[in-house]
Structure 1
Amino acid sequence: MDRIELGNTGIVVSRLCFGSLTMTPFQANLTIEEGAYLIQYAYSKGINFLDTAEIYDNYQYIRKALEGIDREDYVLATKCYAYTKEMAEKSLNKALKELNTDYIDIFMLHEQESIHTLRGHMEAIEYFLEAKKMGKIRSIGISTHKVEGVLGAISYDEIEIIHPIVNREGIGIQDGSVNDMLIAIKKAYNKGKGIYSMKPLGGGHLISQLEEAFNFVRNIPYIHSIAIGMQSKEEVDCNTSLIETGKISSELKRVLTSRKRNLVVADYCIGCGNCKSICKHNGIDIIDGKAVPNDNCILCSYCARGCPEFCIKIV
């Protein structure tokens, strides 16, 4: 698999990034051994880049996987919500200890919204800069669901890597269209920022147009790597084939598109009701302050387009 430098960081990654949330109890609920094997299998296929986060609670999977991987060849990205020095130090030490590693390649602030939220996290950023000088972090970045998050990061030289949502329908982008996001990403790319995108299939909602949706992101020249969740060997094989050729075999396509899927609402749903008002099939209700799919749900995924928190997924 081709590798590429993430912006001006000197960090070289595979064009495909292993999104590790899907293996956790929040989604596929793989055992630690199953998850570790899958990470190692992906590495054998050329994927040397993995994305996680403190909130995913899956460091134990990755620690186990690293026992069979060349650590110096492997790139780990994680995220936290720290905004003080104490919180940042705690999150970094937790990652180092639970992953059993001396350094984190990319440490990011999770779900930054704009230049204003970045200002509010400067104490944490300053701590990460000190940790970088000590060799505990190689690069600092942010993840974001907002165009303004990307634009805000451009203003900070300290932020070297940006992890934004990009998919052909703009699912999950909270403050604009996919075109708005692409304009912002291009500006960041031209500033030398490393860009690795997330949600090319819109959290599973674009699985019916698998090749078209993936290739939309694959063909964007200012995205270095694409993070996508993987929870089976078939998904690793599928995504490897897509990143390398833009196509998958008819058998793999049959297996993946025929797999039974469910609409899942994350615990952080705020019960705003946007999904309910969008659904034309009366397939989702608001119960006890949370969206809950019902028997009328046809997995059309239209509801996800109106979710401000990107908490509705098909798994």
Structure 2
Amino acid sequence: MKTITLGTTGITTPQNAFGALPVQRVNMETAVEILHRAYDGGMTFFDTARAYSDSEEKMGEAFGKGSKWAESHNREEIFIATKSAAETPEKLKADLETSLRNLKTDYIDIYQLHCVKQCYKPGDGTGLYEVLQEAKAQGKIRHIGITAHKIGIAEEIAESGLYETLQFPFSYLATDRDIALVEKCRQNNVGFIAMKGLSGGLLTNAKACMAFMLQYDVLPIWGIQRMSELEQWLDFFREEPELTPELDALIKKDRDELLGEFCRGCGYCSPCTVGITINQCARMSQMIRRAPSEAWLTPHWQEEMMKVEKCVDCGACLKRCPYELNIPTLLRKNLVDYKEILAGKKI
């Protein structure tokens, strides 16, 4: 497996990393088992966040001080990145202390501002960047990173000279502008951490996803919650996938079908004022065809989809969506399609 160095951080790690958002959905024992297997299989970079409920605690249990792993391993053998969505200096400082405590570590390799609305800078009046500088000077964090979903903000970050890493959605559904962002980061020596490599579950061929990533100077973090999922990615340590004509054809087919406005299922739009499960209902048409299952047609999901009719166009989801999607329109299109599928009982 190729290695990648993240910009000016000096962090060099296999180009195949662990995204720990999904381990919040499994119990502690399972999460620790998966995290240990990821390390044993070759992964050394692990990404989490304060927003991922108990994900940090599970990573702390797996790798932190007092853990079984720590008895025979050195903390320097792994790289831990976490994030805070704090919007005030006080909250950012509190989040950092909580993360250090949860992760059972003295330092965090990359501390990232999470899903930002702007490129935070020294002297901008928020005080956030100054907190990061202070924490780095104190040795609590080693590198300053940031995550964004809006391309314009990401481009400004890449050119700012302020951040050592940028985390941004990147998959083989990337636009030309997304790919140009990767190059901009390379030119400015900013490490690019690629999230949403499966586009929220819409992409299902691991080989195609990995082969695409290996063409670029990016570090993909794969969201993993099952051992079977993990083993797919660990297989690539034994044999890197090549972008064969067959995989290239699959990628082109998916791009033809999916490129454009689609919901990645991140859930940042929630909660809905009338109780719609937006992050599933807004992409039901794609999910029901790409992962065919009668489970999408159960009474539960029929009831959830019919809630779309209650949409009052309040605009709350529009303000929250990091991809600036027209969510009410997507919801209604998906509902029309869903009713047609139900009528024909075909997937």
TM tier, smaller: 0.7 to 0.9
**Corresponding letter in the other structure for 1:165:** P
**1:227–1:111 Cα change, 3 Å:** same
TM-score normalised per structure 2: 0.68
- Show structure 1 runs of 5+ residues with no match: 171-177, 248-262, 291-303
Structure 1 equivalent of residue 21 of structure 2: 21
**What is the CA–CA distance in structure 2 between the aligned matches of 1:39 and 1:90, rounded to whole Å?**
26
Structure 2 equivalent of residue 260 of structure 1: none
- State the percentage of identical aligned residues: 25
1:112 equivalenced with 2:116 (yes/no): yes
| 8 Å CA contact retained: 2:115, 2:149 | yes
The Cα shift of 1:54 comes to 0.2
Structure 2 equivalent of residue 210 of structure 1: 206
**What is the CA–CA distance in structure 2 between the aligned matches of 1:200 and 1:23, rounded to whole Å?**
17
**1:2–1:238 Cα change, 3 Å:** same
List aligned pairs for 1:45-60, cutoff 5 A.
45-57=41-53, 58-60=55-57
**1:8–1:21 Cα change, 3 Å:** same
Structure 1 equivalent of residue 35 of structure 2: 39
Which of 81, 85, 89 lines up with 2:89 in the alignment?
85
| 8 Å CA contact retained: 2:206, 2:233 | no
1:61 equivalenced with 2:61 (yes/no): no
TM-score normalised per structure 1: 0.74
1:246 equivalenced with 2:241 (yes/no): yes
Which of 186, 205, 213 lines up with 1:189 in the alignment?
186
**What is the CA–CA distance in structure 2 between the aligned matches of 1:277 and 1:90, rounded to whole Å?**
36
Q: RMSD of the TM alignment (CA)? A: 3.4
**What is the CA–CA distance in structure 2 between the aligned matches of 1:117 and 1:147, rounded to whole Å?**
18
The Cα shift of 1:228 comes to 0.7
Number of positions where the alignment pairs a residue of Structure 1 with one of Structure 2: 268
Higher-Rg structure is 2
| 8 Å CA contact retained: 2:200, 2:265 | no
| 8 Å CA contact retained: 1:112, 1:118 | no
The Cα shift of 1:34 comes to 0.9
| 8 Å CA contact retained: 2:45, 2:78 | yes
**Corresponding letter in the other structure for 1:81:** A
**1:136–1:287 Cα change, 3 Å:** farther
Q: Which one has the bigger strand percentage?
A: 1
1:234 equivalenced with 2:231 (yes/no): no
| 8 Å CA contact retained: 2:158, 2:166 | no
Q: Secondary structure at the match of 1:111?
A: coil
Q: Secondary structure at the match of 2:155?
A: helix
**What is the CA–CA distance in structure 2 between the aligned matches of 1:105 and 1:242, rounded to whole Å?**
25
The Cα shift of 1:73 comes to 1.1
**What is the CA–CA distance in structure 2 between the aligned matches of 1:287 and 1:269, rounded to whole Å?**
17
Q: Secondary structure at the match of 1:101?
A: coil
| 8 Å CA contact retained: 2:120, 2:129 | no
- Show structure 2 runs of 5+ residues with no match: 243-263, 289-296, 313-322, 332-347
The Cα shift of 1:278 comes to 9.2
The Cα shift of 1:43 comes to 0.2
Which of 27, 30, 35 lines up with 2:26 in the alignment?
30
**What is the CA–CA distance in structure 1 between the aligned matches of 2:133 and 2:88, rounded to whole Å?**
13
**1:187–1:213 Cα change, 3 Å:** same
**Superposed structure 1 runs of 4+ greater than 3 Å apart:** 113-122, 263-268, 270-285, 287-290, 304-308
The Cα shift of 1:212 comes to 2.0
**Corresponding letter in the other structure for 1:83:** E
Cα deviation 1:57-92 (Å, max 9, x = unaligned) = 211110110121531111111111123221111011
The Cα shift of 1:119 comes to 7.9
